[in-house]
Structure 1
């Protein structure tokens, strides 16, 4: 525990280190290192309707893609299929399209050291349950997924 001076901050909105947590409490959003834990970040297991999904990306994402930032997930069809697809509800099946928007980044694995040139970056995003089928289908299909940072939400 560390004592800090917060000035005019409303402390009722944050957890206190000397209060026990509710037994069924879970964190329902990313809380950064060194961040005070807001009460609004706590919920119950039934409040969690997201699943972590590992998204390997061929092109390293921007520096704004960090834990806690928001990203959009785009599907880019394989180039050799251009002209062979059927139009979909999202427009031309061969046009890149958004799969999910405003996803929270839970983890970023960037290759480093001597193996930096051989590994792909993997961005772990929290996908709402109702969007999980289309994200998993895109991961299993021909084409690539791109992780696009939402400006102002990252590092």
Structure 2
């Protein structure tokens, strides 16, 4: 049997022939490379773009009405996460309050900005004479114990009224010295527990605030 070598050589030459610029496969390849390059350039540009958002100038307690004095403008690169924070371009919403503590230097989360109607906890001031441990600050958790006054001007056994209540603010009475010094502790109280706490305060119950360091973990 004989083989047509001319036919074989012709097919090999066809396979080795350089592709023409009119070849659809070449055009598709070039378009894919260009599209990939454009996508990488766009991604790098978006990551390098900065946006102005608000940061807390100092600790801002829950329920605080936001004002320019509380905030600092910070340029940041957050990419797709930029929508999670309060943008300067939209300004401070009217009647906006914080629904959670924002600490000094923290970017203000959009989810932490609402109105007074959004608050499910409200701050109540408790004056305590026993000092809290050094380093106690807003955001820590405390247990609140009360001893109710009896008809004989004595007090019942202490009982736990609020467990793991969040501290929104601490104010030390600098004018008092020694044993008479006191601290005003603002704790966040939900509506369910509010009547009982206010009743205890109005009836001169003894209030004790105990740091609960494991509650927030």
> Under a length normalisation based on structure 2, what TM-score does the superposition of the two structures give?
0.54
More helix by share: 2
SS in 1 for 2:86: coil
Q: Please tell me whether Structure 1 or Structure 2 has the larger radius of gyration of its CA atoms.
A: 2
Partner Cα distance (2:144, 2:84) in 1: 32
Matching residue of 1:115: 176
Deviations along 1:9-66, one digit per CA (max 9) or x if unpaired, are 9333222223323334321111112211112212222212333221111211123531
RMSD of aligned Cα (Å): 3.0
Post-superposition offset of 1:100: 1.5
Structure 1 residues 9, 150: CA separation in 2 closer, same or farther (over 3 Å shift)? farther
Which of 42, 46, 52 pairs up with 2:123?
A: 52
1:28–1:77 distance in 2 versus 1, CA, 3 Å? same
Unaligned runs of 5+ in 1: 83-93
Closer, same or farther in 2 for the Cα pair 1:55/1:28, shift >3 Å? same
Q: Count how many residue pairs are aligned between Structure 1 and Structure 2.
A: 141
Task: Tell me which of the two structures has the higher relative contact order, counting C-alpha pairs closer than 8 angstroms and 6 or more residues apart.
Answer: 1
Q: Give the 3 Å change call, closer, same or farther, for CA 111–44 of structure 1 in structure 2.
A: closer
Partner residue, 2:140? 69
1:98 aligned residue (160, 166, 171): 160
Per the TM alignment, residue 138 of structure 1 is displaced from its structure 2 partner at its CA by 1.7
Structure 2: 5+ residue stretches without partners: 1-72
C-alpha distance in 2 between matches for 1:70 and 1:9:
33
The 8 Å contact of residues 65 and 105 in structure 1, kept in 2 or not, is answered as no
Contact 2:145 2:209 in 1 (8 A): yes
* CA distance in 1 between partners of 2:111 and 2:212 (Å): 22
- Normalised by the size of structure 1, how large is the TM-score? 0.71
1:5–1:148 distance in 2 versus 1, CA, 3 Å: farther
